Amino acid sequence: MNWHGVLAIYRFEMARFWRTLLQSFLSPVLSTSLYFVVFGSAIGSRIQEVEGIQYGAFIVPGLIMLSVMTQGISNASFGIYFPKFLGTIYELLSAPVDHREIVLGYVGAAATKSMFIGVVILATAALFVDLPVAHPGAMILFMVLTSLSFALMGFIIGIWARSFEQLQLVPLLVVTPLVFLGGAFYSISMLPPIWQSVTLFNPVVYLISGFRWSFFGAADVPVLFSLIAISGFTVLCLAVIAWIFKSGWRIRS
């Protein structure tokens, strides 16, 4: 293993994050506060409690997941797309690093950034509502696995994308709708029975449910299903990336 190489990629990517720290930090704090104002105060005052949990607290796991997923994807996709766009990828391709090391460096950095933002949102939310964490270990595990798997997905998108437009396409058209329809702001038990069944095909439901369970001990679907879903998604992304490097698809002619 070329650990110096992994660390070099990781540091270089993190440097981009630190350069835009204010933006990286302020943006999630501001958007979380806005969600609390709109959902927590305006709507929350009418709903009050969902499954015995104060509505303001109920939406926190969904809010964190929304940011961790979208940030994981956008950081990793941008991280690998930018060298392709600039042409600096020549160095990566001619360096003594293999695909495991490249993925570790880029995905590791992207996952770190999205986890950082997740923690910032968690801290901001704690200022607005009482936030018990029933299973801290599980909460960390879900957050790590979600940021890693969505960063892996972002890496695939970054390699696939041929323009900045395409880079935005999947997060915008797929991930955000799935998160909004995945029970981020409601419990799926609040839906009519037919939509409860349909929503079970949305993989994000399992992630939000499992993450919410780690806070409140209550879940829409069994926690084991959530763990299987996130692990399965991670393995799928890893398999696609292994194929990409083996075939050289869109990176090495």
Partner 1 sequence: MPAILSIRDVRKAYENGFEALKRVNLEIEQGEILALLGPNGAGKTTLISTICGITLPTEGQITVGGFDTQADFRSARNLIGLVPQEINLEPFETVLNTVRFSRGLFGKPRNDALIEDILKKLSLWDKRQARISELSGGMKRRVLIAKALSHEPKVLFLDEPTAGVDVELRKDMWEVVAELKAAGVTIILTTHYIEEAEAIADRIGVIRRGEILLVEDKQTLMAQMGQKILEVQLTGPVTEVPASLAAYDLSLGDDGRSLVYSYDTQGERTGITALLNAIAQAGLVLADVQTRQSSLEEIFVGLVQEEEKVA
Positions in the binding site for partner 1 (CB under 8 A): 2, 4-5, 7-9, 11-12, 15-16, 19, 82-83, 86-88, 90-98, 248, 252-253
Chain position carrying tokens 């910032």: 120
Smallest distance, partner 1 to C-beta of residue 251, A: 10
Smallest distance, partner 1 to C-beta of residue 170, A: 24
C-beta of 16 vs 135, nearer to partner 1: 16
Per the CB < 8 A criterion, the answer to whether 208 and 59 are in contact is no
| Residues constituting the chain | 253
Closest CA to 159 of 223, 243, 216: 243
C-beta of 19 vs 232, nearer to partner 1: 19
Report how far residue 19's alpha carbon sits from residue 27's, in angstroms, rounded to the nearest whole number. Answer: 14
C-beta of 24 vs 67, nearer to partner 1: 24
Please, where are the H alpha helices in 36-98?
44-47, 55-58, 60-86, 89-94
Q: Does residue 221 sit in helix, strand or coil?
A: coil
Q: Euclidean distance between the first and final Cα of the chain, in Å?
A: 25
Smallest distance, partner 1 to C-beta of residue 160, A: 18
Cα 25–chain centre separation: 16
Smallest distance, partner 1 to C-beta of residue 216, A: 42
C-beta of 1 vs 134, nearer to partner 1: 1
C-beta of 97 vs 219, nearer to partner 1: 97
Cα 23–chain centre separation: 18
Smallest distance, partner 1 to C-beta of residue 249, A: 12
Cα 135–chain centre separation: 20
Smallest distance, partner 1 to C-beta of residue 193, A: 52
Provide the token pair at 65: 């997941």
Report how far residue 62's alpha carbon sits from residue 136's, in angstroms, rounded to the nearest whole number. Answer: 16
Q: Does residue 49 sit in helix, strand or coil?
A: strand
C-beta of 17 vs 58, nearer to partner 1: 17
Smallest distance, partner 1 to C-beta of residue 122, A: 29
C-beta of 76 vs 205, nearer to partner 1: 76
